[in-house]
Amino acid sequence: MDTLRRNGPLQSLSAMSSYCWTHGGEISTNDRVYGYIAETEHYRFCLRCTPRPGDYQGYLYCYDLREQQMRQRERLVGRVTYTSGERQEFTDPQEYLRTIQEELPYRNTTGFRYETLTDDPSVREAVDDILWDFVGEENPRRTNREITFGGLGK
């Protein structure tokens, strides 16, 4: 922040105008609004500049970098590991289920292990179905899709 005030776009209106002109970063073409992002080890700074008299010329937003990165990541559905140290993470439920189905028969030689991370009941049930099918049994913990209330059906 101090650097931006000393010799950057926050030094003065003319410094901001010059900085924006030379560095680009135009957000909107007809309003002359510019945006810049800078990251440090722990923070992400977003600076919005409007280099013209009479307006608020600068807005500086500060975000926790780790929180921003976690929110931007797609939610993991599951992960698999092997004895070799190979590790895969999945955000696509179908790809995760396909991998379990393909790798399960080779678990004794590859050390295949899986971990379901999602709370989605349809994915968790599908994983159970794959495992029970692998051992030649029906899944005894089927989700009751026909829920009854007070002894009455739907």
pLDDT, tens digit (0-9, with 9 covering 90-100), for 15-25: 999 988 888 88
- What does the block give as tokens for 21? 């002109």
Which of the four pLDDT bands, split at 50, 70 and 90, describes residue 78? very high
- Amino acid identity of residue 43, one-letter, is Y
Crossing angle (nearest 10°) for helices 93-103 and 121-134: 10
pLDDT, tens digit (0-9, with 9 covering 90-100), for 96-136: 999 999 999 999 999 999 999 888 889 999 999 999 999 88
| β-strand partners of 43 | 64
Instruction: Write down the domain spans for the chain.
Output: 2-71, 78-134
pLDDT at 142: 63
Pairing of strands 58-64, 78-81: unpaired
- Amino acid identity of residue 81, one-letter, is T
